[in-house]
Amino acid sequence: MSEMTESSEAKSADLSLKEYALSPLNSDKRKPQPLALVIFGATGDLASRKILPAICRLAIRGELPDEFVIVGAASSEIDDEGFKKIVNEATKDIEDPEGVWENYSKRFRYVSGDYLSKETFVQLNQVLSEVDDQYNIGGNRVYYLATIPKLFSVVADGLKSVACNKPKRKDNFVRLVVEKPFGVNLESSKALDVDLHTAFEENQIFRIDHYMGKETVQNVLALRFANAIFEPIWNRRYVDHVQVTVAESLGVEHRGAFYETAGALRDIVQNHVMQVLSLTLMEPPSSMDAGGIRDEKVKLLKAVEIADIDEQVNNVVRAQYGPGEIEGEKVVGYRQEDGVSPTSETETYVATRLYVDNWRWAGVPMYVRTGKRLAKRITEVSMVFQRPPHLPFAGRLSRDLRPDVLSLRIQPDEGISLSFGAKIPGPAFKVKSVSMDFSYKEAFPEVTVDAYERLLLDAMMGDPMLFIRTDEVEQAWKIVAPIQESFLQGEPPLARYPSGSFGPIEAERLIQASGRQWQNL
């Protein structure tokens, strides 16, 4: 065991953060250039839960430049001190023994105002000029849109109105980070792009899908392209079908009102599932850079068959959770959640079957399921292999033999497992499925970097590889469009499942229709 591992076991989580900063794992530590990070929606939930803690950890690990400042912007009428209180509250559980974050946060500024008023942006520009001078920021900006989606275009327009959308000097950068949802359908996502592109060039726009920041999602690429043994079997000759599961045990929490306008299809399938699917199924890129990877992802998405609506209805299940129990605790059904209509038809579960029309995957069904309030939280991709063409054992001896499965577990218990047949000890030649497991945490016990930390740092560094390009967003909307359309027409009828279950019976039927079954959660 390395020195770092021994000590990190003995010390608190935040000391291991510091150790991580000094560890060989972090030897390729990168630091952005001086910059101001402007968070729009700075008093909101996303800023407090994700952005501020991520920035704080980056600061404590020494991954931010000395010349760094956050400027918060929102409509709440607070001042710089009020914003610092919000920052402190959001980061209070992160230990900062050397006061690194405290020092940074002393400089944080806040601009209060209505995004529809030019005055707000004039004021923001003024504050940015002041921090440029005070802290040698030099004019570099990263704007983070953590507002409600309908304000994305308004803010982009406001920034343009005071010429904050373009670098002031040749060697400056100005970037815009946008959180999903990127529209609510193909048309609105295109309209959003037109709006954003009137103020920003595509290469200035960094669209976040936080799944791309997860180490284990990136590990799909390592598994496929750092090894020679998987590639030969990664195709229709050996793979019977693929399953992608994004199961959550949480309900909609306090986001009921938002979720009513989203539903599982838009919230998870259009983005996170498509990202995981495209990385798993795409062709090998010629290089591990932004262009190479994103081109291959788009090519894969373009090959996904877009069914017509009538056909799609038979290949999709939509369902909603009712009351039930999660880990022994009674929980309410979706329609009883705050902000949700008691007659809501919004789906909290989707299962569907897709096909990829290309040489590698033709005819291989891709089963996808996602839902809230399921028995367990688990995100994984499983490649289920074809059965051997002939089993030389009597049927009763191989009753417990299932097809071989390679499962890439994205969360929790991140890892990879391969299940295959083995002989049961004893005189009879009885076989059953066993599993060989690789645990990410056991192999790499060092602190792993949170998805937001990775993505924020990449945006500040200007590395677009893990961000979503506009053509990917568009293609993903095209894939889900027929499903959206059939849901709008009330088809298929909304099924139900109790909270804490494995999902609706209709999803079992969907996969069983072809003689297959879902992997156990």
Residue nearest to ligand BG6 (CB): 267
Query: For residue 426, is it left (φ>0), alpha (ψ between -120 and 50) or beta?
Result: left
Is residue 458 close enough to count as binding ligand BG6 by CB under 6 A?
no
| DSSP letter for each residue of 402-446 | ---EEEEEEESS-EEEEEEEEEPSSSS--EEEEEEEEEHHHH--S
How far is residue 381's CA from residue 376's CA, in Å, rounded to a whole number? 15
CB-CB contact of 453 with 57 (8 Å): yes
Shortest separation between residue 409's beta carbon and ligand BG6, angstroms: 12
Is residue 450 close enough to count as binding ligand BG6 by CB under 6 A?
no
CB-CB contact of 347 with 494 (8 Å): yes
- The encoded tokens of residue 296 equal 């291959």
Q: Between 60 and 252, whose beta carbon lies closer to ligand BG6?
A: 252
Q: CA angle, corner 263, sides to 246 and 49, nearest 5?
A: 70
Query: 6: how many CB neighbours lie within 10 A of its CB?
Result: 10
Shortest separation between residue 468's beta carbon and ligand BG6, angstroms: 13
What phi, psi does 119 have (nearest 5°)? -55, -40
Q: Between 346 and 379, whose beta carbon lies closer to ligand BG6?
A: 379
List binders of ligand BG6 among 359-388 (CB under 6 A): 379
Shortest separation between residue 270's beta carbon and ligand BG6, angstroms: 10
Q: Between 34 and 53, whose beta carbon lies closer to ligand BG6?
A: 53
Is residue 96 close enough to count as binding ligand BG6 by CB under 6 A?
no
Q: Which residues are catalytic?
A: 272
Q: Between 267 and 296, whose beta carbon lies closer to ligand BG6?
A: 267
Bridge partners, 394 (sequence order): none
Is residue 267 close enough to count as binding ligand BG6 by CB under 6 A?
yes
The order of strands in the sheet holding 109-112 is: 109-112, 68-74, 35-40, 141-145, 174-179, 205-208
Shortest separation between residue 245's beta carbon and ligand BG6, angstroms: 11
Q: Between 239 and 374, whose beta carbon lies closer to ligand BG6?
A: 374
Shortest separation between residue 149's beta carbon and ligand BG6, angstroms: 12
Q: How many residues interact with ligand BG6 (rule CB under 6 A)?
A: 3
Bridge partners, 369 (sequence order): 245, 351
CB-CB contact of 492 with 486 (8 Å): yes
CB-CB contact of 242 with 367 (8 Å): yes
- The encoded tokens of residue 414 equal 């991140």
- The encoded tokens of residue 271 equal 């983005």
Is residue 248 close enough to count as binding ligand BG6 by CB under 6 A?
yes
Shortest separation between residue 411's beta carbon and ligand BG6, angstroms: 6
Orientation angle between helical segments 152-161 and 118-135, nearest 10 degrees: 70
Shortest separation between residue 348's beta carbon and ligand BG6, angstroms: 10
Q: Between 379 and 501, whose beta carbon lies closer to ligand BG6?
A: 379
CB-CB contact of 306 with 482 (8 Å): yes
Q: Between 96 and 209, whose beta carbon lies closer to ligand BG6?
A: 209
The binding site for ligand BG6 (CB under 6 A) comprises 248, 267, 379
